[in-house]
Chain A
């Protein structure tokens, strides 16, 4: 369960005994245990993927780390401080499934947004925005408006925006989920390049086994009802990853391992009334095969 990096560096994210309950209008009947008994430690420089069927709470866990919603119990420490403090200190960048770019701002203006809010000077903002647009290879589109770009380009702008404040931690919630398979694979390669260059820590939520294995240093497999971590799989592929990585035997073994971990959940948690989750899990497995 431990990787080399973890023993060396102080953890960037430390989750201890966290649970999250959604209380629907104070009625016991609609109470949903989104997450129970979550313990997870993420070291500096790691790339950790959260994977699992719909309803396993993987997005909720990411939102808890980002302090976008508070935990019902337990503690979340980011960069050695409570998650709320880390958010106020702007310690992380977040990329959502939708790019959420502001229509009224140019590409550069959108990347400058977090810098404006943190009070950076105009010169600083411009310099950092251009620097990060170069990183995602969109310098030529600085003056364009978001609606003039394709979906993949918009998501790259969102990544540049998240990186513009040089966050120690990058939280990504199915960032490529809305993209076609080909664009997604190219974005995966680009994200790895960015990860190498920035040496940031990444927590990545995904539905795709192939994507999780290809990108991560560790894959956290989650299962639903209640949402929990069922297993953690170390991805000991060579750190340098490229198109050929997807053809390595080791890669196939790891994909199979993750798929089996997901299937194991299906078997243990599979009461007849949970068809929806079965289907979701099978879809995840199928996605893995197609990758």
Chain B
């Protein structure tokens, strides 16, 4: 009845203290990263580790700056593949997931295959995809990324739509709610945390799929070929510089998904899962 009666669970986000919270959240990991890079730099120098075993971070940074234009062009090429793969894979996963969740027989017949397929090393098919969709085509790499994304997104969509509280279903039954209303008001919101979990996974998988797909066949100006070619020439600083770009893409996409999640599900506290 009074404000004092409100219990504030540990997960309550306090608005207004955004900056303090930002420093608290980002400070420790940033410090750790800088520390690790420093240890790396010092270790390579003091133990005299050879460049082709492990280049120094500063040397990588130098290479990164020197070759920025061509690295950027390669990254742009690969980024498009990742993005296309994500859009194709996630859309197909959500759509087929919705259809599967709707029909019991589809769940019974499709889900075992989907679960089995998601534990198949799909990357092993990458050379075949190159064969099907064109060796130096972006489409072939996008398709590897798409297939990698598809299964987790589809499986989680089905789980999110079907794993609803039986009591909530009963409540809606007492309101004489239509199937459509149950879908919109219960199943969809219930599935969002599941779908976003899958999307977080999907951005990582799409990045891996595209880059590794390029190892087998792609134009010179792609991150995968860049990494593979300069590794072959023992010019590891340039491989590392391209890997840094791949990391930036992967982390960037992950952050976009995380932000979208906050916007779409302001009520959901993912950090509570870790506690």
Listed in ascending order, the chain A residues whose CB lies under 8 Å from chain B are 66, 68, 87-90, 92-94, 96, 98, 100, 102-105, 113-114, 116-118, 137-138, 140-141, 144-145, 147-150, 153
Contact = CB atoms under 8 A, between A and B. Distances in A.
Given A148-B9, A149-B7, A102 B176 contact: no
B175 A90 contact: yes
B233 interface: no
Contact of A94 (B1, B174, B268): B174
B120 interface: no
A141 B9 CA distance: 16
Interface of B: 1, 3, 5-9, 11-12, 165, 167-168, 170-177, 181, 185-186, 189, 192, 265, 267-268
B195 to A, nearest CB: 13
A9 B12 CA distance: 50
Contacts of A103: 267-268
Contacts of B165: 100
A148 B6 contact: yes
A150 B6 contact: yes
A117 B172 contact: yes
29 contacts: A68-B173, A68-B174, A87-B174, A87-B176, A88-B176, A89-B176, A90-B175, A92-B174, A94-B174, A96-B167, A96-B171, A102-B186, A102-B189, A104-B265, A104-B267, A104-B268, A113-B185, A117-B175, A117-B177, A137-B1, A140-B3, A141-B6, A144-B6, A148-B6, A148-B8, A148-B12, A150-B5, A153-B5, A153-B6
Given A140-B3, A150-B7, A104 B175 contact: no
Contacts of B171: 94, 96, 100
A175 B171 CA distance: 14
A83 to B, nearest CB: 11
B5 to A, nearest CB: 6
A98 B167 contact: yes
Nearest to A103: B267
Nearest to A136: B1
Contact of A149 (B6, B175, B176): B6
B174 to A, nearest CB: 4
Contacts of A96: 167, 170-171
A32 B8 CA distance: 44
A116 B265 CA distance: 20
B271 to A, nearest CB: 13
A141 B7 CA distance: 12
Given A96-B170, A105-B267, A117-B177, 9 more contacts: A87-B174, A89-B176, A92-B174, A96-B167, A98-B167, A103-B267, A103-B268, A147-B9, A148-B9
Contacts of A138: 1
A118 B9 CA distance: 33
A153 B171 CA distance: 19
Contacts of B176: 87-90, 117
